[in-house]
Amino acid sequence: MRTFIFLFCTTIFGFSPVKLFSQNAKIVIAADKTVSVDEVFDIIKQQTNYTFIYQEDLFKKLPKVQLKKGTIRVNDLLKNSFSSKDFDFSFANGNTILVKEVRVEKVIVQQAKNIEISGTVTNDRKEPLPGVNIKVKGTNATAQTDFDGKYTITAPSDGILLFSYIGHRSEIVAVNNKKVINISLTEETKQLEGVTVNTGVTVRKKELITGAVTIYKGEELRQISTQNVVQALKSLDPSFIVLNNNLVGSNPNILPTIEVRGQTSLSANQ
């Protein structure tokens, strides 16, 4: 009798349409077919007690879903029906599936605009420094100060300017959207371990030169001229002769021809 009752109950419940509420419930696909996302939901609803809540026409632009004959879990079927990066679904209240569109906030990255920057570069004594090199970090943009220490350069509003000048400490300045950047360079004093003389052919130490050697320091040159080193040397040493070339006119890119002690030992290509 007990065996009969057990078999009877098993038979009754085995053929009863059991409604599943687990997301692992399996859905039977009778044959290979192509359906819309809405039709996928209909298939799930027919075989389970699930109901769907979603906005009308939410899947209107989605491509068809390819279904293969066999069985598949509800969770996997939903994942295969639409992209998880565009849509999200969640199980609520046991048998309700909420489907919504994933809204991604677009972050607009604004590129720093280029601005024209101008300013003046001076030394510790507030004197203008001509010939200071200015470079925009990370680019090929460069500029140089004029005889009054003034410069103009184009750089990104969030860029960085590099200032360098012989005999002075280099400086790094952030633009920070500033259109005027004035800067003072500090003179860098370094003790020379040895003096070498460039003859135009070889570089030799001072003590190995048999002729007369004259050394002028930067301070001496600045006392004569802060803008033209050649003219300063001409004033300090009578043997240093600058020859005028009327053919080049006032072209600033042409270096003068120089004679030292009556012989041409320095020129534009030396």
Q: Are residue 83 and residue 152 in the same domain, yes or no?
A: no
Q: Is residue 214 part of a domain?
A: yes
Q: Is residue 71 part of a domain?
A: yes
Q: Are residue 88 and residue 175 in the same domain, yes or no?
A: no
Residues 63, 52: contact at Cβ < 8 Å?
no
Q: Is residue 107 part of a domain?
A: no
Q: Are residue 41 and residue 88 in the same domain, yes or no?
A: yes
Token representation of residue 178: 């500033």
Q: Are residue 239 and residue 155 in the same domain, yes or no?
A: no
Q: Are residue 41 and residue 69 in the same domain, yes or no?
A: yes
Q: Is residue 211 part of a domain?
A: yes
Q: Is residue 106 part of a domain?
A: no
Cα–Cα distance list, 63 to 15, 30, 44, 178, 209 (Å):
37, 21, 19, 52, 88
Q: Are residue 166 and residue 224 in the same domain, yes or no?
A: no
pLDDT value of position 4 = 40
Q: Is residue 32 part of a domain?
A: yes
- The CATH number covering residue 174 comes to 2.60.40.4130
Per residue in 152-169, pLDDT tens? 999 999 999 999 998 899
Residues 93, 109: contact at Cβ < 8 Å?
no
Per residue in 174-183, pLDDT tens? 999 999 999 9
Beta bridge partners of 135: 142, 162
Cα–Cα distance list, 161 to 70, 96, 117, 150, 252 (Å):
67, 61, 10, 15, 26
**What is the pTM (predicted TM-score) of this model?**
0.36
User: Looking at the 3D structure of the chain, how many domains does it have?
Assistant: 3
Per residue in 106-152, pLDDT tens? 666 667 789 999 999 999 899 999 999 999 999 999 999 999 999 99
Q: Are residue 137 and residue 202 in the same domain, yes or no?
A: no
Q: Is the pLDDT of residue 3 over 80?
A: no
Q: Is the pLDDT of residue 17 over 60?
A: no
Tell me the average pLDDT of the chain.
Answer: 75
Domain of residue 96, residue span: 2-101
Token representation of residue 112: 């720093």
Q: Are residue 177 and residue 225 in the same domain, yes or no?
A: no
Round to whole Å and give the CA distance between 93 and 101. 20
Q: Is residue 190 part of a domain?
A: no
